[in-house]
Amino acid sequence: MARSATYAFNFLPSPVKPNYCLLLGCAATLSFSAAIAAQSTSATKPAITARPIEAAPKAVPAKMQKEAAAKTPGPPKEPAITFNSVHVDGPYIAMTFDDGPSATLTPKLLDLLAAHHIKATFFVIGENVAEHPEIVARAAREGHEIANHSWSHPNLAKMSQESVRSQLQRTDDAIKSAIGKSATLLRPPYGSITEREKRWIHDEFGYDIILWDVDPLDWKRPGPAVVRNRILKETRPGSIVLSHDIHPGTIEAMPSTFDELEAKGFKFVTVSELIAMATPETPHPKAKPAEKTATKAAPSAVPTSSPGG
């Protein structure tokens, strides 16, 4: 191309040669500018990368969400501080006796417990401990557990915090004076105590709150046979049996009661030992919805507090 242009140029007349050279120079300049612009545009223009089209997330079925939530561990449960009974692996029960010590009846009961090699828990009244510390000392020496039942058997749920504190502290001091150590359990008189009281008493004194699931109502003095039969009928593994060592009929009922409980295979431990044996309960599968024609089951009765507790 350049050679052809040069050849043609040589044959042009002289007056025309300057104009032709000017045209050739302009054309060359325009071509060079166009090339530079093309290179600059390709360098600065960002490359477009092809991206795959993302699919919309699928909705998780409600059933799967519930199953996942059930498998997710929740926050750890707070340890229990109130016990009516204890879930245990084995035929273990705790016999408990309230309101003593009695000067005449508690020693008879201690003799009977020793003969059967039974360890029990005594929820004592502070006034009685102060009056008969030697009986409490004997009970502790023979392996029985001594626990707080207040100073004078009032209804704690109807008292001020300061009054409740005084009742428990005075009794704890009397117990410590008699046996050399403080109690670790509390049974509120009549089983009457508020949720708030449970919490601050546990935090301040370290007490577990002990109620019961077997109540022979011996404070009504129904007679030894009735007391025995009620205990035998209601006692289950893990039961906490309530009775009182201040009623003659209760002491009379105990020999045959112990014999028959032993014949059923029950083993006797203190309340603290029973709590230490606690095992987790196996959750039962949820029952299927009842037929529309089925009648609703009557609600189970809630145990009431015994006036003699």
Q: Are 87 and 119 in contact (CB under 8 A)?
A: no
- What angle is formed at CA 244 by the lines to CA 238 and CA 247, rounded to 5 degrees? 145
CA atoms within 13 A on the CB side of 124: 36
- Both tokens of 27, joined, read 């054309």
Cβ count within 10 A of residue 240: 24
Distances (CA, A) of 161 to 41, 44, 156, 196, 199: 86, 81, 9, 10, 12
Count the neighbouring beta carbons within 10 Å of the beta carbon of residue 143.
13
Between CA 137 and CA 132 the distance in angstroms is 9
Which residues belong to the active site?
98, 244
Sequence-distant (≥ 6) Cβ neighbours of residue 100 within 8 angstroms: 106, 122, 124, 125, 128, 135, 244, 245, 246
The number of beta carbons lying within 10 Å of the beta carbon of residue 159 is 16
CA-angle at 244, arms to 215 and 88, nearest 5°: 50
Q: Cα separation of 302 and 134, whole Å? A: 39
Note whether 131 and 106 are within 8 A (CB).
no
